[in-house]
Amino acid sequence: MNYWLMKSEPDEFSIDALARKRTEPWSGVRNYQARNYLREMRVGDGVLFYHSSCAEPGVVGVAEVATEAHPDPTQFDPKSDYFDAKSPRTEPRWSLVDVRFKRKLKRVITLTELKGCDELKDLILIRPGNRLSVLPVSKAQWDFILGLE
């Protein structure tokens, strides 16, 4: 089993939206490194759901990977913000996984709090300049973060 952190802006798609829908395709990833991480995911992998670009960024819930990576259909839809005219259907550039809701955290574990923990000094999320929406998390980091709840 692997562990991941996936970022979403809560005004675009929040943990509450995932709780209502139960399972949702994680579409619109348009960074090659983040795409490669999606392609590494396996059904049952753990996901820390992170709210970004908001008043209080932080980990807000737990989800799991519900499907293996498959082509993101938004890349082929000219009406989509994520359309990619250079992505051929025969060899799609962009992938997605479906993510299944597990639970909301009892509280937001804020980015500020995460940055203050020596145990998380190697967490990719807190590295300067990191803007990836999908990140690997070690089992030790996963356990530590959830232990902060």
b (16+ CB within 10 A) / e for 114-137: beeeeebeebebeeeeeebbbbbb
Does residue 147 sit in helix, strand or coil? helix
- Both tokens assigned to 139: 């089992």
- Both tokens assigned to 15: 């943990």
**Number of separate helices (H) and strands (E) present in the chain:** 4, 8
Rounded-to-integer distance, Cα 128 and Cα 9, Å? 19
pLDDT at 49: 98
pLDDT at 143: 98
Beta strands 3-8 and 46-51: pairing type?
A: parallel
- What CATH number is associated with residue 84? 3.10.590.10
Q: Which residue has the tokens 């939206």?
A: 17
Contacts of 89 (CB under 8 A, 6+ apart): 76
pLDDT at 129: 84
pLDDT at 113: 97
The residue range of the domain holding 85 is 3-147
Q: Tens-digit pLDDT profile for the chain (149 aa)?
A: 999 999 999 999 999 999 999 999 999 999 999 999 999 999 999 999 999 999 999 999 999 999 999 999 999 999 999 999 999 999 999 999 999 999 999 999 999 999 999 999 999 999 988 889 999 999 999 999 999 99
How does DSSP classify residue 112? H
Does residue 9 sit in helix, strand or coil? coil
For the chain, the domain total comes to 1
Contacts of 8 (CB under 8 A, 6+ apart): 14, 49, 50, 51, 52, 133
